[in-house]
């Protein structure tokens, strides 16, 4: 007859569930022992761990309807901004230190290091959870003393609300004061900018308000007039020259020079007539030099020469005045771009100052409304929906979970140990294992037990099952008591401790 375990693996490497079920049943004593140890350890851990009590307070962030009415007029922080700042503020060192002093917890701190450790402990144990959708936040704290857990939560909530209210009012006052100071500063800057513009206009008014088109037209007209004046002046100068050069001796000299030029074309330089005429010209020049001044003075005294002189002086004076006017106009045209650019820069500066000033005035009005809203708590307020109460049941340790984990984990650990022992056992377990060594199998002899062995095994199995069931029942009893919060075990433990003490 074949061994039941000889075909545990139908093929090499395949898993046979029934084999491991039989293996667990075969070694059920080890399974029960490991499970009982795990369940007992879980029970000990569940009741040995110190209890923590959790107190929680729910605060509603109330958005006042006035905030919607003054939207755009007053500046109020958004709900999201308020809620996001709550957690940081509540867990700040200043806030936690205020709670410690309010509850006289600092009397237990012998040094600054102890106080820092107490603050760090509270910061780690206090939880602030935000529900932006509902507009609420929850403050919770765990402590071994239920009353202290409640007091810490309620005190922290109270201090936060009071601090938040006073901070909002202080910020509103400071913001309004700052805006008032800045308004005064920018008002002075605007006045200074306007004075600077007025001074600049007074100094550069001729250039600033000049008509560029008219000036260019005047320049064109002046150019035409100057050209006409130059022509007239040149004509008068020519007339004057002709008048001066038309004296009898000068006319005689000119005639002689013309004849000399004609004779040189016909005779040589040494011809008697040429030499005679050259001597006559020299005599005429000598005569001009000796009596030329009197002859010119006679010309200067003529009315024609005096008329030319007066007209020429008048035209020269007119030309100088016109040239001076052209120079001034060109200077104005040259300065116009720079002056206008400088004025534009001054006006731009004043405009920027004015824009900032107007914004400050607008913000100041909004700040006044915001300040009144903060003073009267009209913008946003905090309302405690559920204040923390003394917790009646501990939040830690989670005894039902630990006990249930002990039951399930003990059974799983027992099965795992049995399977592990089987895996690391090098002995031959199946017929296939033997065949791997190439040993021919002639027959399989099953293990035969007598009736006495079978009877003893059945008694042993009953005891194992009874102990295992008893352990599970005891663990389940503790589990049920914890679910029902009966507290019987805690009372027994307290009684035993009192008796021992």
**For position 40, what pLDDT does the model report?**
92
Contact 380, 62 (CB under 8 A): yes
Spatial neighbors of 259 by CB under 8 A, at least 6 apart, are 277
Instruction: Read off the pLDDT of residues 26-69 as tens digits, 9 standing for 90 and up.
Output: 888 888 899 899 999 998 998 888 888 889 999 887 654 334 43
For the domain with range 207-364, which CATH number is right: 3.30.70, 1.20.1740, 2.60.40, 1.10.287?
A: 1.10.287
**For position 378, what pLDDT does the model report?**
45
Which is nearest to 57 in space by CA: 394, 389, 388? 388
Contact 128, 56 (CB under 8 A): no
373 burial (CB, 10 Å; 0-12 / 13-18 / 19+) is: buried
**For position 440, what pLDDT does the model report?**
74
Spatial neighbors of 294 by CB under 8 A, at least 6 apart, are none
Q: Is the dihedral of CA 444, 449, 454, 457 positive or negative?
A: negative
H helices of 376-450, in order, are: 399-424, 431-435
Give the C-alpha separation, 228 to 247, whole Å: 30
**For position 368, what pLDDT does the model report?**
66
**For position 74, what pLDDT does the model report?**
41
Q: Which residues pair with 56 in a beta bridge?
A: 140
For residue 128, the SS3 value is strand
Q: Under CATH, what is the fold of the domain 53-179+380-386?
A: Bacterial polysaccharide co-polymerase-like (3.30.1890)
Which is nearest to 162 in space by CA: 108, 98, 220, 213? 98
Give the C-alpha separation, 126 to 219, whole Å: 88
**For position 408, what pLDDT does the model report?**
92
3-state helix, strand, coil in the chain (%, to 5): 75, 5, 20
Give the H/E segment covering residue 380. strand 380-386
464: how many CB neighbours lie within 10 A of its CB?
16
- Show me where the domains of the chain are located: 23-49+397-500, 53-179+380-386, 207-364
The angle, 0 to 180 degrees and rounded to 10, between the axes of the packed helices 212-245 and 303-375 is 170
**For position 104, what pLDDT does the model report?**
87
Collect the ranges in the chain with pLDDT lower than 70.
1-16, 62-84, 166-172, 243-253, 284, 287-302, 366-381, 429-431, 433-434, 447-449, 501
| Per-residue DSSP letter, 51 | P
**CB burial string 393-413: b at 16+ within 10 A, e below:** ebeebebeebbbbbbebbbeb
Contact 371, 168 (CB under 8 A): no
Give the C-alpha separation, 61 to 80, whole Å: 10
The angle, 0 to 180 degrees and rounded to 10, between the axes of the packed helices 17-26 and 28-48 is 70
397 preceded by a cis bond (ω within 30 of 0): yes
Instruction: Report the predicted TM-score, pTM, of the whole model to 2 decimal places.
Output: 0.49
**For position 41, what pLDDT does the model report?**
92
Edge-to-edge order in the sheet of strand 380-386: 127-131, 136-143, 53-63, 380-386
Distance spanning both ends of the chain, measured CA to CA: 67
């Amino acid at each position: 007859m074949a061994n039941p375990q000889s075909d545990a693996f139908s093929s090499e490497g395949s898993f046979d569930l029934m084999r491991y079920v039989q293996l667990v049943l075969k070694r059920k004593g080890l399974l029960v022992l490991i499970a009982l140890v795990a369940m007992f350890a879980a029970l000990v851990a569940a009741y040995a761990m110190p209890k923590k009590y959790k107190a929680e307070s729910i605060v509603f962030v109330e958005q006042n309807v006035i905030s919607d009415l003054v939207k755009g007029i007053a500046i109020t922080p958004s709900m999201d901004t308020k809620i996001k700042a709550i957690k940081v503020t509540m867990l700040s060192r200043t806030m936690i230190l205020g709670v410690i002093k309010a509850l006289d917890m600092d009397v237990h701190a012998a040094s600054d290091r102890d106080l820092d450790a107490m603050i760090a402990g509270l910061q780690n144990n206090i939880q602030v959870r935000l529900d932006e959708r509902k507009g609420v936040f929850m403050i919770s704290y765990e402590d071994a003393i239920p009353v202290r857990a409640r007091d810490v939560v309620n005190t922290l909530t109270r201090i936060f609300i009071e601090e938040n209210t006073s901070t909002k009012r202080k910020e509103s006052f400071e913001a309004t004061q700052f805006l008032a100071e800045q308004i005064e500063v920018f008002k002075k800057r605007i006045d200074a900018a306007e004075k600077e513009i007025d001074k600049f206009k007074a100094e550069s008014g001729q250039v600033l308000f000049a008509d560029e088109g008219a000036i260019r037209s005047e320049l064109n007209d002046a150019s035409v007039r100057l050209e006409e004046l130059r022509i007239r002046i040149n004509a008068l100068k020519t007339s004057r020259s002709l008048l001066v050069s038309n004296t009898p001796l000068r006319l005689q000299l000119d005639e002689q020079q013309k004849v000399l030029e004609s004779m040189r074309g016909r005779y040589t330089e040494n011809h008697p007539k040429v030499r005679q005429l050259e001597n006559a010209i020299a005599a005429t020049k000598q005569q001009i030099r000796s009596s030329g001044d009197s002859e010119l003075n006679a010309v200067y005294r003529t009315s024609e020469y005096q008329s030319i002189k007066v007209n020429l002086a008048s035209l020269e004076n007119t030309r100088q005045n016109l040239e001076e006017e052209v120079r001034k106009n060109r200077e104005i045209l040259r300065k116009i771009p720079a002056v206008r650019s400088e004025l534009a820069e001054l006006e731009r500066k004043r405009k920027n100052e004015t824009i900032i000033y107007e914004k400050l005035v607008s913000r100041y009005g909004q700040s006044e409304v915001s300040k009144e809203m903060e003073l009267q708590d009209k913008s946003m307020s905090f309302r405690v929906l559920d204040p923390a109460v003394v917790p009646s049941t501990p939040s830690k340790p989670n005894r039902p979970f630990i006990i249930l984990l002990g039951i399930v984990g003990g059974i799983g650990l027992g099965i795992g140990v049995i399977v592990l022992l089987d895996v690391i056992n090098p002995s031959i377990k199946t017929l296939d294992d033997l065949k791997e060594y190439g040993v021919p199998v002639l027959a399989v002899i099953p293990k035969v037990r007598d009736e006495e062995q079978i009877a003893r095994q059945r008694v042993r199995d009953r005891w194992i099952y009874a102990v295992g069931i008893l352990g599970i029942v005891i663990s389940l009893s503790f589990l049920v008591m914890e679910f029902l919060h009966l507290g019987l075990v805690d009372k027994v433990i307290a009684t035993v401790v009192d008796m021992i003490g």
